[in-house]
Structure 1
Amino acid sequence: MKSWNSNSNRTVHGVIAGFLSLGLPTWAAATGTAKPSTAVAALGQTEQPGDPSGFSMAFLQGAYQAADVKSLLLGSEVMAGTYRVDIYTNGDPAGRRDVTFSVNPGTGQVEPCFTAELLTQAGVDIRKLEAQGKALQGACLRLPELIEQASAHYDAPRLRLNLSVPQAYMSASHRGYVDPSLWEDGVPAAFVNYSLNSRRGWSTRTGGSNDRSTSVGLQMGANLGAWRLRNNSYLTTGSRQSTQFQSQNTYLQRGLNAIKSQLQIGETYTNSPLFDGVQFQGVQLASDEAMRPDNEQGYAPVIRGSAESNATVEVRQNGYLIYSATVAPGPFEITDLSPSGSNGDMEITVIEADGSRRVQRQAFSSPPLMVREGRVRYDGAFGRFKRNGSGGERPIFGSASLLYGVSGNVTLAAGLQASAGYQAYSLGAGVNTRAGAVSLDATHSISKNDGKSLSGDKLDLRYGKFLEDTNTNVSVNYQRSLNDGFRSLSDHVYAKNRSDGVDPYASRYGYTRSRVDAYLAQNLGQGNRYGSLYLSGSDARYWDDSRSRSLSVGYSNSLGRVSYNLGYSHMRNVNGGPYGRRYSDNLMSLTLSFPLGSGAGAPQGYTSLNRQGSGSSVQAGVGGQLPTERDIGYSITAGRGMDGGGSGSAAASTTTSFARLGAGYSYGNHYHATTLSANGSVVAHGGGVNLGQSVGDTFLLAKVDPPVAGVGLSSYAGAETGRNGYAVVPSATPFRSNWVGLDTRKLTAEVEFDNAMQQIVPTRGAIGQVTFKADTGRRVQFELTQPDGKPMAFGATVDDADGNRLGITDPRGRVLAMLSEDKEKGELLVRWNELECRIPYALPARTEGENYQRISLKCDSARAIERKNPPRQGPLVGQDPSTKKL
């Protein structure tokens, strides 16, 4: 049975330090004494010789605990002992460790002890210390004595140890790095992630006929140890199509931590920076850069567009649906894509409430070829080519690529792809210059089909740069086929199938002659004072003289409380283009948004004007969050559609502990439609089954033990524990420290936690688990008095009959304790000033509405403490109960 959680322990520090630093000197001054020691002596206590504090330890708490309180009087932030603390090195988290604090004879202060292992975990390069002849074998090394200008400061209220270490003594790979010994593979579990979007529309032009469509995206998985089984599937059905279930891919994956790589077996995508990504069935081994510190976490495009109603946005890559969501009227921005390969354009379809569709394409390619000096990044794949559809040839192939950082500014790259009748070789280099990072790779291919042999070469030039002085981010990718004989592996397979009479439209995009993709983002003025500008565009030309191009430009800024966005997009296919027909589309938009009130939760109004081709639309609306405890959002719009008729919509969404739910209604000229959406997860684990919000590939479970329902998570709106005491934490960053905190503001007085914040470092794809130990029972404030009727001495220790420490008394003789349900009656053992007293108690009936109950108890008689069998010590003030008792 424990009395106080870590927050309570921190409060004890404040009570003691505050009372000693403010209370006693003030009291002494009030009595007219010149020195605190004089006041102490006046009460019959003897000042201890040589005590720099000037106070008698015996007067405060008795000799039994005098050394601990003396630490505080000497100015120490902590009493001697072992504590579980959060270590931060130069402001960066370095993990949670058990650290021993002891008195430094040289300074008389309580300071942290370090070992060589602890210094390494904190990011210090101990090899540099060893090279200087520093002895690192001790169990209590002092950081300032080892490294000049280094310091260690303990923040007692936050249980945080802040280290300041000169950069010259830091490990070069420390920033963002977490010791692999802290990585956790998680618990055995299985989950289903679902994303449901349903639409039903009615048209008055066709006699009230209706159109129904529903799509469900499923991401399913199971974990056992380091192994992860994953499947991505889509189910679509509707009144104009038959029900179709498409399993996109199924694979088994695990991390190989020793070589910082991921192994995949099954249906997956090649991930080469030199060759176009293809889906295949086989095995792949590739570097996992997230296992390393200071790495780029990958790249995904941002997709922007505009919707006129409650529309569905679908994104496809290489013919596969990789994203689907319902968006509200007005501009939208998609930033959470997971591309299915390192290359391959995105096809974005906006399906309006009336069933009309707008299709646009956006380029996607990997960034320049650059890795750090001495770093090797590789990928290798072997398996059978997988096509989108059935039938046709699916050859076996192998693919490999390697990048090596020759120096800090030069990277070399090489790659190979081979299959029956096909070979491709690639060589490249990346250079980091003051003008930016640029890479050039050349690929030579040989494709044999129907007795004919074609060969060709392609150049790929990539450039990227962020200009800090002007806040400009620019990237350009230029591809050029030097002759019409160049074929990618996909081109080769599709051409072979076409010659076999299978899938005559397999290569509908034709063979690319040249292509340029560019992106620019510019922040104007300090702090975006003059707004921000972005531009993205692409231009592709094909060997059959067809051409396609797209351009998107946007500018956003604010004027007072009004924010505005100007946008223009253009898409054109010339001479038939890759879509097999002429196509031209221009869309211009202006959106204004402004708060309708002055409060933080005031609704937002907006107006949107769009012009597309010869038509135009205007929308006005209002949206925001309802002033309730639950996360409930809404939007209402009205205006005129592209066809000149009136239009409007209403939508609402809410985030609960088990899903994010949404519903909408739209109407326009000759139609009206409804939409429904639901996004969530079902997780099965050793503690039962829990419903949760949509989860990422890596996520967590928060467990309250013993189970307490309804405990929220501080960083995730709506997430809370179920009846089994578990909550689903929707996402986590692999190989990085993830902090999970409980929202204890709504807890009843019968529940408290030793620690409401936990840390975990999951591996990729892990379902990690953090456990919060809860104490449940009755919170009681004992108000204790001595036999002479005076309040119990400040600092007296209070234990229960089993020897568990409940706490120490405050200056008024009070102690706040949490008693378990089986402790309705019992006995307290109180010790102070070499005396002890046993006080029986019996708790009264519960009183509704009280956070805690007050009980006054008196010690009838006290006796001297017997030293032979001292009571078992509980955790020191501020000490995590899971650490070793001193």
Structure 2
Amino acid sequence: MKRSQRCRARTGRDGPRLAALAALMSVWYPVSGYGESYFNPAFLSEDIASVADLTRFAKGHGQAPGVYRVDVWRNDEFIASRDIRFDEAPQAPGASTKSSGLTPCLDSDWLKRLGVNMRAFPTLEKYRKGECVALEQTIPGALADLDFAALRLNISLPQASLSNSARGYIPPEEWDEGIPAALLNYSFTGNRGSGDDSYYLSLQSGLNYGPWRLRNNGSWSHASGSGGNWRNIGTWVQRAVVALKSDLVMGDSNSGNEVYDSLGFRGVRLSSSDSMYPDSLQGYAPTVRGIARGNAKVVVRQNGYVIYQSYVSPGAFAINDLNPTSSSGDLEVTVEEKDGSRQQYTVPYSTVPMLQREGRLKYELVAGDFRSGSAQQSTPFFVQGTAIAGLPRGYTLYGGSQVASRYKAVTLGAGKNMGEWGAVSLDMTHANSELSDGSRHQGQSLRFLYAKSLNPYGTNFQLLGYRYSTRGFYTLDDVAWRSIEGYEYEMDSDGDGHRVPVARSYHNLRYSKKGRFQINLSQSLGGYGSLYVSGSQQTYWGTSESNTWYQLGYSGGWRGISYSLSWSWNKSMGLSDSDRIVALNLSVPLSTLTGRHYLRETALDRAYATFGASRNSDGNSSWQTGVGGTLLEGHNLNYSVNQGHSNTSGSSGSLNANWQGTYGTLGAGYNYDRNQHQYNWQLSGGAVAHANGITLGQALGDTNVLIKAPGASGVRIENQTGVQTDWRGYAVVPYATVYRYNRIALDTNSMNNHTDIERNVSSVVPTQGALVRADFDARIGVRALIALNHNGRLVPFGATVREVRSGAVGMVGDEGQAWISGLPLKGQLLAQWGEGADMRCLARYALPPSVMNKPVAITAANCLSVSGMTQEGSQ
């Protein structure tokens, strides 16, 4: 029986009880006036003795004081999910009313977490650490109200009482370094064909302890005729340096690419971490300044959308926490005064990768041995330092230096937001180099970057760049080559099942780099799709050859149908002649072909007919058509069937399927052409070892969440394809977002008849590389309606009931029936309906194993007086 059906069945039987509870709830809210409200228990039963002591509810206190896990919201902004103690709210005449009858106990630490400017309220100093602060009396205009049904604590604080912190700021105290754990990622692929078998295994392992992360990447490959080969790709240790908002890496890693090209190294790197800053302080956005005549609302729009709204005090203001949006688009600022008057003005805005916000300093320090993975390059020790500083008026200043035994370089540059003219950066690098043949060189390189959007026309220059280098300019990567000229080879199949060496790369230092042009341009055509141009060209001194890549494309869509047309041109110096390719692709939902309305709700809606065709400059042409889509309830089975033809290899076809499950991903496929038949497979997943055992799952990300819900097996995780708890109630959610709130929710509709979870949502804030645990309190057992009789009478309505051993709790409704979930098959129920020793009783019950196959067990039990029983004995 489905969960919704179970709920309906239970609700139907509990109708009279719920009606009485509804009548009772109508008096839980205070009545205006100074007279005290009184609820007559005779409304619930003619026999007043059959009703429990409901004094607390009759006086307007709707919920019992205690500790509740709630979502804390401040001014409609989510702050955290935490356990908070709630006390009875004051009910004196004129006091603010609480719908739940409860008020939170918030100490000074909590006020800091909420962003309260503690210096503005001297009376806060009298409160000791951990002491509850009288929020509404201390901060004028502050309100705290608990929505008990949603377990949401809504806190309203005047803007003037808050510190000037950026939107989305999460204090480091909220960051979770995770639990000690060992981690393993694996991916095994195989290919078996006509005389050509190959296998590849990738392993990524790690250890976490506190803020420290140890990682290793390695791979094993095997091919027919060449045997197996193990390769250690890299090993490193890293941790966050919170005080510096930076990351420390020791071992094998790569440098950044803002000022210099990214380089592999084995050594140490200390660099700024953008992830530690809130979204509103990442990237570049201009500082919006203005003057308000009085208390005013400031609204900032970009491309017609509101991207920022806040309230400011009279006088000059500066907004420096705008979220980066598109790379450009003027900001329209509106200052709305209380008297209805408005100021409106425009702040031009464009950005290039080098720009930083005013006051932001981004840096990187690297020291170590150069490391490229190529045997043809040496490993010189080098030191590198870079810095990028955001200055007032839209300026950014940046620079850096690289120093090695045979290489020295220094860079200086500046960027500027030029408003309606776009954004630009310009830098110069001077380098002294000594190549492997002993020759010494000196040269300069000038780089120019530009970005601009013409929003009225839908044009976006995402990046337009050019670098010019003099004949004597070389990079550290060039200096590391052991020879002036050479090829690098790798073994590959020649198409007939034979392994042959194939040139992978070529270098010739006699031809130093001259000019490099790059572009990334898009043009929106409204409802007719979009055009794009991307590409780059690298020219060299002393030769007409170049490395060139350009791509021009058009794409669009209509009623689920998508289509694209693209053209590309590629040429690599020393490796190949130019190759030009034109391609057409089309995807049509099968529901459209059958005349059904496209909704993506059925397997037919999620199935597509595809067609693709291409032709290159050598006259080789091919086409392929097929069907693909997703199946199963969780859409975690992908499939595709294709058939094609080429004028060089004749007919071809393929069949592929990929399944994402709880413990990993499994894929299999078959393809053929005129020359061969091939079978391939893939198995990938992850595993974590922690204090509670080993948990298998899908492939891990850099940062992950371990779900702990003991006993709750087979429960799906919301918004995660194929992820559900294992037989012990554990699961791994991969790819968590670092330094941000991650909402982890269990799908209650996937729980079985004997699983209940009081709180199915948790929120975690992991640090980089952490395995953070999200705990859920699962109650496993029987759901039961048990009629309790005491001294020949029904146990009073409203009595609380607790199972002594498991702690499962419930409440008695009409007809003396107690609804309790999570019960063991046998145990003792302690019922209590007042403060007196004679107002409680103990019932022993035993349920047959067959009730495990039923959604609800219905039974009765005698409840015996326990007036002489000690408190300890009742527990």
Which category describes the TM-score, using the shorter chain as reference length?
0.7 to 0.9
- 1:828 paired residue number: 830
Aligned residue type for 2:414:
A
- 2:171 paired residue number: 179
- 2:56 paired residue number: 67
- 1:425 paired residue number: 410
- Check conservation: 2:352, 2:424, Cα contact below 8 A: no
Query: Residue 183 of structure 2 aligns to a residue in which SS?
Result: strand
- 2:602 paired residue number: 600
Measured in 1, the distance between the counterparts of 2:575 and 2:828 equals 87
- 2:653 paired residue number: 648
- Check conservation: 1:223, 1:229, Cα contact below 8 A: yes
1:234 to 219, 229, 232: 219
- 1:519 paired residue number: 520
2:196 to 184, 205, 211: 211
Measured in 2, the distance between the counterparts of 1:484 and 1:872 equals 91
Measured in 2, the distance between the counterparts of 1:683 and 1:294 equals 30
Change in CA separation of 1:844 and 1:560 when aligned onto 2, cut-off 3 Å: closer
- 2:564 paired residue number: 565
2:449 to 462, 465, 472: 462
Which deviates more, 435-444 or 250-259? 435-444
Change in CA separation of 1:91 and 1:507 when aligned onto 2, cut-off 3 Å: farther
Measured in 2, the distance between the counterparts of 1:500 and 1:534 equals 36
Query: Residue 763 of structure 1 aligns to a residue in which SS?
Result: coil
- Check conservation: 2:808, 2:823, Cα contact below 8 A: no
Kindly state the Cα deviation for residue 657 of structure 1 after the two structures are TM-superposed: 1.4
- 2:694 paired residue number: 689
- 1:752 paired residue number: 756
- Check conservation: 1:262, 1:288, Cα contact below 8 A: yes
Change in CA separation of 1:65 and 1:852 when aligned onto 2, cut-off 3 Å: same
- 2:322 paired residue number: none
- 1:883 paired residue number: none
Measured in 2, the distance between the counterparts of 1:646 and 1:501 equals 39
- Check conservation: 1:85, 1:161, Cα contact below 8 A: yes
Which deviates more, 728-737 or 160-169? 160-169
Kindly state the Cα deviation for residue 395 of structure 1 after the two structures are TM-superposed: 1.6
- Check conservation: 1:189, 1:223, Cα contact below 8 A: yes
- 2:578 paired residue number: 583
Kindly state the Cα deviation for residue 765 of structure 1 after the two structures are TM-superposed: 0.9
1:616 and 2:614 matched: no
1:399 and 2:400 matched: no
1:126 and 2:142 matched: no
- Check conservation: 2:811, 2:820, Cα contact below 8 A: no
Kindly state the Cα deviation for residue 569 of structure 1 after the two structures are TM-superposed: 2.1
- Check conservation: 2:565, 2:582, Cα contact below 8 A: no
2:39 to 38, 52, 55: 55
5+ long unaligned stretches in structure 2: 1-6, 285-350, 490-504
Query: Residue 762 of structure 1 aligns to a residue in which SS?
Result: coil
Kindly state the Cα deviation for residue 292 of structure 1 after the two structures are TM-superposed: 1.6
- 1:740 paired residue number: 744
Query: Residue 734 of structure 1 aligns to a residue in which SS?
Result: coil
Measured in 2, the distance between the counterparts of 1:72 and 1:470 equals 61
Measured in 2, the distance between the counterparts of 1:829 and 1:174 equals 51
- 1:30 paired residue number: none
Aligned residue type for 1:420:
S
Change in CA separation of 1:825 and 1:725 when aligned onto 2, cut-off 3 Å: closer
- 2:797 paired residue number: 794
Aligned residue type for 1:288:
S
Please give the root-mean-square deviation of Cα atoms over the aligned residues, in Å: 4.0
2:96 to 94, 97, 107: 107
- 1:549 paired residue number: 548
1:845 and 2:872 matched: no
Measured in 2, the distance between the counterparts of 1:116 and 1:265 equals 39
1:441 and 2:409 matched: no
Query: Residue 470 of structure 2 aligns to a residue in which SS?
Result: coil
- Check conservation: 1:191, 1:684, Cα contact below 8 A: yes
- Check conservation: 1:639, 1:648, Cα contact below 8 A: yes
- Check conservation: 2:739, 2:767, Cα contact below 8 A: yes
Measured in 2, the distance between the counterparts of 1:842 and 1:16 equals 25
Kindly state the Cα deviation for residue 542 of structure 1 after the two structures are TM-superposed: 1.6
Kindly state the Cα deviation for residue 565 of structure 1 after the two structures are TM-superposed: 2.3
**Deviations along 1:526-582, whole A, 9 cap, x unmatched?**
xxx4334433122222213322322223333223343222222222x3xxx524442
Higher relative contact order (CA 8 A, sep 6+): 1
**Deviations along 1:111-150, whole A, 9 cap, x unmatched?**
445444223323x3415xx347675755555666666776
Change in CA separation of 1:119 and 1:69 when aligned onto 2, cut-off 3 Å: farther
Aligned residue type for 2:117:
I
Measured in 1, the distance between the counterparts of 2:556 and 2:384 equals 47
Between the aligned residues of both structures, percent identity stands at 30
Kindly state the Cα deviation for residue 794 of structure 1 after the two structures are TM-superposed: 3.2
- 1:325 paired residue number: none
- Check conservation: 1:439, 1:462, Cα contact below 8 A: yes
Aligned residue type for 1:774:
A
Measured in 1, the distance between the counterparts of 2:140 and 2:224 equals 75
- Check conservation: 2:705, 2:774, Cα contact below 8 A: yes
- 2:537 paired residue number: 539
Query: Residue 746 of structure 2 aligns to a residue in which SS?
Result: strand
Aligned residue type for 2:734:
P
Query: Residue 60 of structure 2 aligns to a residue in which SS?
Result: helix
- 1:491 paired residue number: 478
Measured in 2, the distance between the counterparts of 1:696 and 1:634 equals 24
1:256 to 213, 227, 241: 241
Kindly state the Cα deviation for residue 397 of structure 1 after the two structures are TM-superposed: 0.9
Kindly state the Cα deviation for residue 417 of structure 1 after the two structures are TM-superposed: 0.7
- 1:481 paired residue number: 468
Measured in 1, the distance between the counterparts of 2:429 and 2:798 equals 78
Query: Residue 56 of structure 2 aligns to a residue in which SS?
Result: helix
Change in CA separation of 1:637 and 1:298 when aligned onto 2, cut-off 3 Å: farther
Kindly state the Cα deviation for residue 242 of structure 1 after the two structures are TM-superposed: 4.8
Aligned residue type for 1:538:
S
**Deviations along 1:727-779, whole A, 9 cap, x unmatched?**
22222112222222223434333332333222222211112222323333333
Kindly state the Cα deviation for residue 820 of structure 1 after the two structures are TM-superposed: 5.0
Measured in 2, the distance between the counterparts of 1:439 and 1:461 equals 6
Spell out the pairing of 1:235-314 with structure 2 (5 A cutoff): 235-239=220-224, 241-294=226-279
Change in CA separation of 1:778 and 1:395 when aligned onto 2, cut-off 3 Å: same
Query: Residue 716 of structure 1 aligns to a residue in which SS?
Result: coil
Change in CA separation of 1:762 and 1:661 when aligned onto 2, cut-off 3 Å: same
1:815 and 2:818 matched: yes
Change in CA separation of 1:627 and 1:582 when aligned onto 2, cut-off 3 Å: closer
How many residues are treated as equivalent by the alignment? 751
Aligned residue type for 2:845:
A
Kindly state the Cα deviation for residue 677 of structure 1 after the two structures are TM-superposed: 1.8
1:855 and 2:842 matched: no
Q: TM-score, normalised by structure 1?
A: 0.76
Measured in 1, the distance between the counterparts of 2:25 and 2:406 equals 92
- Check conservation: 1:86, 1:161, Cα contact below 8 A: yes
Query: Residue 764 of structure 1 aligns to a residue in which SS?
Result: coil
Kindly state the Cα deviation for residue 274 of structure 1 after the two structures are TM-superposed: 0.8
Measured in 2, the distance between the counterparts of 1:258 and 1:437 equals 32
- Check conservation: 2:415, 2:425, Cα contact below 8 A: yes
Measured in 1, the distance between the counterparts of 2:15 and 2:471 equals 81
Q: TM-score, normalised by structure 2?
A: 0.77
1:782 and 2:786 matched: yes
Kindly state the Cα deviation for residue 830 of structure 1 after the two structures are TM-superposed: 2.9
Change in CA separation of 1:793 and 1:267 when aligned onto 2, cut-off 3 Å: same
Measured in 1, the distance between the counterparts of 2:646 and 2:157 equals 62
Kindly state the Cα deviation for residue 839 of structure 1 after the two structures are TM-superposed: 4.5
Change in CA separation of 1:702 and 1:582 when aligned onto 2, cut-off 3 Å: same
Measured in 1, the distance between the counterparts of 2:418 and 2:157 equals 31
